[in-house]
Amino acid sequence: MQPSIPSPLSFRILRLLADGEFRSGEALARQLKVSRTTVWKALQGLDSWGVTVFRVNGRGYRLVTPIDWLDAAAVHQHIGACASHFQVEVVDLASSTNTILLNEALAGAPKGLVVAAELQTQGRGRRGRTWYTGLGGALTFSLLWRFEQGVGNLGGLSLAAGLALLRTLRELGAQDVALKWPNDVLWRHQKLAGLLTEIEGDVMGPSAAVIGIGVNVQLQPHIRERIDQAVTDLATSGLAVSRNLLLGRLLAHLARVLESFEAHGFGALREEWESAHALNDRMVSVSLPGQQDEVGLAAGVGDDGALLVRTASGLRRFYSGDVSVRPTQRMQRHA
């Protein structure tokens, strides 16, 4: 069952508790011009979203772990020379930042608009999966990027964005990170981050892409329990970094990668992407809906972002869609 959604008042109270000190219910109620009962109700159910608030009689409320709040101005400072490329908006609550930006794109929003959410309640992954997060425990945002090229010329865009994420994590000191086709970033073979790219436009152009990115920063145990695959977070990998710094540096790398993609396509980035692919030159099993699994050797990617697999019947090309790829030890005699 979906936990209750925090109210706008919940976020206001949490920000007042940001310093980790005790605040009495009476003081909070007086400052917010509400009743003490209203304050108490606004703080109920937050543990479902990864936030624990201590309540001690006579002292009041205190956050067990301070929240690393996003701040648009701080993000811009960390972007550096590419800051003029972006307009960053931070919202407390969103069902899906991709959905917000897809609607904004249809309404004519400018290239470089970024929507980041403190808490995303219905984040979408590939193949209909839900992206689970806790409040402050992940970086979840979407970027709108407009292209003169048509939809058909944007093959490999999701892979290019993944490369920008990989560069960012390595710049910040992450070790043992790798890419997994088509849109995952792994740490020691566990999912650390994911991307979902959605494209609107004409075949001949122009087109608009919404690039949604989710990075696990510090997952609470009960959030992990909801996820049906091996996952990890930056805290486990040993990388302690503020979400503002992470988002700022990631946007800087996205600007460079997307400018290269616009000018030269994914082909100019392909070799770098392949060198970081966790499954390259490994036996893999490729699953497609309603079809028998294909087994073969992962042999890189094409300039259009297709996964190349050497199977018993020859070289096959797979495109993302509903394709699932996993490593396997099974080998066919004639493969």
* Residue 179 maps to a domain: yes
* Residue 118 maps to a domain: yes
The verdict on 168 and 290 lying in the same domain is: no
Domain boundary pick from 63, 85, 106: 63
The verdict on 33 and 143 lying in the same domain is: no
Tens digit of pLDDT per residue, the chain (335 long)?
A: 556 889 999 999 999 998 889 999 999 999 999 999 999 999 998 988 888 899 999 899 999 888 999 999 999 999 999 999 999 999 999 999 999 999 999 999 999 999 999 999 876 655 555 656 788 889 999 999 999 999 999 999 999 999 999 999 999 999 999 999 999 999 999 999 999 999 999 888 899 999 999 999 998 776 777 776 789 999 999 999 999 999 999 999 999 999 999 999 999 999 999 999 999 999 999 998 888 899 999 999 999 999 999 999 999 999 987 788 999 865 443 33
Catalytically active residues are: 126, 191, 326
The verdict on 18 and 119 lying in the same domain is: no
The verdict on 172 and 292 lying in the same domain is: no
**What domain count does the chain have?**
3
CA distance 95 to 285: 33
The verdict on 225 and 84 lying in the same domain is: yes
* Residue 239 maps to a domain: yes
Q: For residue 164, give every residue at least 6 positions away whose Cβ sits within 8 Å of its Cβ, in sequence order, or none.
A: 250, 253, 254, 256, 257, 258
The verdict on 29 and 136 lying in the same domain is: no
Structure tokens at 314: 């020859």
CATH number of the structural domain spanning residue 53: 1.10.10.10
The verdict on 164 and 88 lying in the same domain is: yes
* Residue 241 maps to a domain: yes
Strands, E assignment, the chain: 53-56, 60-63, 87-94, 113-120, 123-124, 130-131, 138-147, 177-180, 184-187, 190-201, 207-216, 283-287, 294-301, 307-311, 314-318, 324-327
CB atoms within 10 A of CB 199: 19
The verdict on 85 and 160 lying in the same domain is: yes
The verdict on 152 and 82 lying in the same domain is: yes
The verdict on 104 and 138 lying in the same domain is: yes
CATH number of the structural domain spanning residue 311: 2.30.30.100
The verdict on 242 and 216 lying in the same domain is: yes
The verdict on 50 and 130 lying in the same domain is: no
Phi, psi of 239 (to 5 degrees): -100, 110
* Residue 335 maps to a domain: no
* Residue 92 maps to a domain: yes
* Residue 333 maps to a domain: no
Q: What is the DSSP code (8-state) at residue 231?
A: B
Give the domain extent around 19: 8-63
Domain boundary pick from 275, 301, 318: 275
pTM, to two decimals: 0.92
CA distance 311 to 314: 5
